[in-house]
């Protein structure tokens, strides 16, 4: 899934079908590509349904260097139990001091 803010392009890579299995971490990569000539800091905040945990943390600070700078961050999503067929959440992406905020929809399926 790809989203483009004015200052940053965001690529969310599930790496495979987004099927959750209780207790088994699901790896997700987030790639950030700067679209501006100056360096910036980007905040990533996961908003997921109750019962889904994000590791290493649900909030992450990433530094991007000037264009064509990029960064890649890995997260693990783990479900305590899987009782629903669909789990929907949002990955919020913003750069402090910039007016735009990216709200990237994320979807996982119960296996």
Q: Which 8-state DSSP code applies to residue 65?
A: P
pLDDT tens-digit map of 66-98: 778 889 999 999 999 999 999 999 999 998 888
Count of beta carbons in the 10 Å neighbourhood of residue 80:
11
Can you give the pLDDT at residue 56? 95
What is the mean pLDDT of the segment spanning 25-45? 91
Tell me what the pLDDT averaged over the chain comes to: 90
Domain total in the chain = 1
Q: What DSSP line would sit under 15-28, residue for residue?
A: SS--EEBTTB-EEE
Between CA 43 and CA 8, with CA 18 as vertex, the angle to 5 degrees is 25
The answer on pLDDT for 5 being more than 90 is no
Question: In which domain, by residue range, is 21 found?
Answer: 2-110
Which CATH number fits the domain that encloses residue 106? Answer: 2.60.40.10
How many Cα atoms are found within 13 Å in the side-chain-facing hemisphere of 59? Answer: 2
């Amino acid at each position: 899934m790809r989203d483009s803010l004015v200052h940053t392009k965001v690529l969310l890579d599930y790496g495979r079908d987004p099927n959750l299995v209780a207790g088994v971490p699901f790896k997700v990569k987030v790639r950030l590509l700067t679209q501006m000539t100056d360096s910036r800091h980007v905040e990533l905040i996961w908003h997921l349904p109750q019962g889904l945990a994000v590791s290493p943390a649900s909030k992450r600070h990433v530094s991007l260097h000037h264009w064509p700078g990029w960064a890649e961050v890995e997260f693990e999503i783990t479900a305590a139990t899987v009782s629903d067929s669909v789990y929907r959440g949002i990955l919020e992406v913003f750069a402090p001091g910039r007016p735009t905020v990216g709200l990237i929809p994320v979807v996982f399926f119960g296996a």
